[in-house]
Amino acid sequence: MNTQKVLLTDRGRIQSVQSLRAMAFLGIFTSHCQATSLGAWGVSVFIILSGFLMYYNYSDRNLCYGIENSMRFSINKIKKLYPLHIVMMCLSAIFIYKEICDNFSLDIILKSLCKMLLNIVLMQDWIPQSEVYFSFNGVAWYLSLCLFLYFVFPFVLHFLKRIESSKNIVIIIIIVYLLQNTFGYLSLFLNIPSIISDNFSKWFVYIFPFFRAGDFLIGCCLGDIYKRNCNNDRRRCYNIFFSSICEIMVLFIVIVVNFLYNYKIGSGGIEWFRYNMLYTIPSIFIIYIFVYKKGILTKIITNKVTIYLGNKSGYAFLIHQFVIRCFDWIQINVFHVRLNVWIKVCVLLAITIIFVEIYLKVCEYIRCKVTSVSKVE
């Protein structure tokens, strides 16, 4: 009976974290619709939360951490989204085709083929040119990042399991955060020719997989701390009023941080800081708030709609930018009007979800057909 209660409690906490994933996706979605500026916050939450969930789900398993095994593990983790990535890349080629037709040259064709190859093998993040890592379906840069993060995860898991004290885990989080700030700041002073990178500092802190692995490691450390202390936390009696006050305080911090991001106040105006480290601390707090789900805000936000969107967020993430680009082109070139930005958000979110469901239905249909053919043979 007690075991069942524990499982249900953990399941509920994971569902609340799925709701946070939905909030992060909505931040990115509304940012791409130019309704908010929460895109960088959403990306930070996605990466740190990914590390948290990976450690939460795999800490009790013995993963092999050799190069070959890690690569196999990484490919297995992304294979569910990879077919959709290829589909969206091909659909996004419509915009590349238009560019080639407008400025036809052998150079543009060769560059487009190279970009396509890098997208197919998910290596676009390693080239510090925005026209490369944002090429075709621009949001696919995150899948390229995930390929690397999942590759290093077995090594991270093995490393964290050897650490005995939670205090040492906290020290690792602090060291990683300070190193990120230091190297991010130093990236401003590197005299990188524009032919190599059009904005090296932004690429370094926002896209570069090695740098973003720091956020992922922080997430894994949070998962480790939670797993070590979750039994004690279950026995604690959290006051709903106190928890709600904490949630409001964290929400206020996120609002202040977003204000710094928008108006470039103080250190928040420095690009290396705005696109990553500015959101790290708020992301840590908000993840822990959603994990424990003791206050009023998280109880309200955690519902069937947000859990559904959180579960589908990976597919919606890969689809949404193409939907936005098509919609923008149609409303400007066909109807010659611009919708109210929040009407646009609602319409495009609904269209994105419809496309997600259609894609999943088609995949299920193909899977059933393949299975039936295999049984016949």
If you write DSSP's letter for every residue of 53-98 in order, what string do you get? HHHHHHTTS----SHHHHHHHHHHHHTTTHHHHHHHHHHHHHHHHH
Question: What is the spatial distance between Cα 125 and Cα 129, in angstroms, rounded to a whole number?
Answer: 9
**pTM score above 0.85:** yes
pLDDT at 367: 87
pLDDT at 110: 86
Q: Collapsing DSSP states into helix, strand and coil, what is residue 328?
A: helix
- Tokens encoding 12: 């509920």
pLDDT at 84: 96
pLDDT at 257: 77
- Between CA 44 and CA 51, with CA 49 as vertex, the angle to 5 degrees is 105
pLDDT at 305: 92
Distances (CA, A) of 148 to 112, 165, 177: 23, 28, 19
pLDDT at 291: 82
- Tokens encoding 322: 């193409």
pLDDT at 264: 61
Residue 345 gets the label, from left (phi > 0), alpha (psi -120 to 50) or beta, of alpha
Instruction: Please give the DSSP secondary-structure letter assigned to residue 191.
Output: -
How does pLDDT run along the chain (377 residues), one tens digit per residue?
343 333 334 444 567 888 899 999 999 999 999 998 888 889 999 999 999 999 988 988 888 888 889 999 999 999 999 999 999 999 998 887 776 777 777 778 888 899 999 999 999 999 999 899 999 999 999 999 999 999 999 999 999 988 888 889 999 999 999 998 888 888 877 767 766 777 788 888 899 999 999 999 999 999 999 888 775 555 455 567 777 787 788 888 777 777 777 666 544 445 556 666 778 888 888 888 888 777 788 888 888 999 999 999 999 999 999 999 999 989 888 887 788 899 999 999 999 999 999 999 999 988 888 877 766 66
pLDDT at 272: 55
Question: What is the spatial distance between Cα 250 and Cα 23, in angstroms, rounded to a whole number?
Answer: 14
Question: What is the spatial distance between Cα 292 and Cα 14, in angstroms, rounded to a whole number?
Answer: 10
Question: What is the spatial distance between Cα 166 and Cα 2, in angstroms, rounded to a whole number?
Answer: 26
In sequence order, the 6+-apart residues with CB closer than 8 A to the CB of 128 are 192, 196, 197, 200, 203, 204, 207, 208
pLDDT at 7: 35
pLDDT at 235: 45
Backbone angles phi and psi of 244, in degrees to 5: -65, -40
Q: Is residue 195 classed exposed, middle or buried when 0-12, 13-18 and 19+ CB atoms within 10 A define those classes?
A: exposed
Give the sign of the dihedral formed by CA 150, CA 152, CA 156, CA 158: positive
pLDDT at 372: 77
Q: How many CB atoms lie within 10 A of CB 59?
A: 17
